[in-house]
Amino acid sequence: MSVLDKFRLDGRVVIVTGASSGLGVAFAKAVAEAGADVVLAARRVDKLADTAELVKSVGGRVLSVGTDVVDPDQCTALVEAAIAEFGKVDVLVNNAGVGTAVPSTRETPEEFRSVIDINLNGSYWAAQACGRVMAPGSSIVNISSILGLTTAGLPQAAYSASKAAIVGLTRDLAQQWGTRKGIRVNAIAPGFFASEMTAAYAPGYLDALAPRMILGRKGDPEELAATLVWLASDAGGYVTGQTIAVDGGVTIT
């Protein structure tokens, strides 16, 4: 086997949550291109159809499952559907999440709880459901954010707290499941990539952050997806418990 062969996902079954738009679409396409069968999960079932067609266009088999990760029972049902269709689950891409920018003196309990419930609790329920059935050699990749590692000038207490918590969750699950179950658990902390979240930023916001982007530009979603494939595949077989910042250098400025 060559080094490049280690990046292949042939014969693997990959669940991608939050697969209806943005980075979730890029992740689904990338794992399909690497040879995986893909299970798409999101609340917006109608939008999953477009992602499913994209996966098919690069030769992947695909299953779409309407899922709200806030509900542990729906996460369990997602995993059961994946097993019924493909026989197993090898990789979870824990991507479902929302972002808000609300000043902390005005943020309501409902707003704060909603972000934590989706970004943190939902990631845990999805990981728990997959961890119960995954075989040794499986991989979970949680999607954190550079805002879990640094700040970026917006009032994002709930979002930043949830993404920082993902870093801790990743370490703990890696510790719990590495020796006992042979499951690797890592996280990616994306910088600024084209997504629904960045599209909602005020005009000029990203330009103001340009001095912190050492590489001088926003990221290409395919660059982030390549990191995902590395962590999901045998190429990342000796990496666990880590949070990899893919941010053009923002977190070191």
The amino acid at 104 = S
* Domain-embedded: residue 35: yes
Residue 63 in any domain: the answer is yes
With beta carbons less than 8 A apart as the criterion, state whether 115 and 160 touch: no
Task: Report yes or no on 251 lying in a domain.
Answer: no
CA distances from 118 to 25, 52, 55 (A): 18, 23, 25
Domain-located, residue 183: yes
Write down the catalytic residue from 124, 159, 205, 238: 159
Angle at 192 between CA 189 and CA 57, to 5 degrees: 85
**31 in a structural domain:** yes
For residue 106, the domain's CATH number is 3.40.50.720
Please check whether residue 253 lies inside any domain of the structure.
Answer: no
238 is catalytic: no
With 0.85 as the threshold, say if the pTM is over it.
yes
**pLDDT 10s per residue in the chain (253 long)?**
799 999 999 999 999 999 999 999 999 999 999 999 999 999 989 999 999 999 999 999 999 999 999 999 999 999 999 999 999 999 999 999 998 888 899 999 999 999 999 999 999 999 999 999 999 999 999 999 999 999 877 888 999 999 999 999 999 999 999 999 999 999 999 998 866 665 556 676 666 666 788 998 888 999 999 999 999 999 999 999 999 999 999 999 8
Residue 75 lies in a domain: yes
Range(s) of the domain holding residue 64: 4-246
Residue 234 lies in a domain: yes
Count of structural domains within the chain = 1
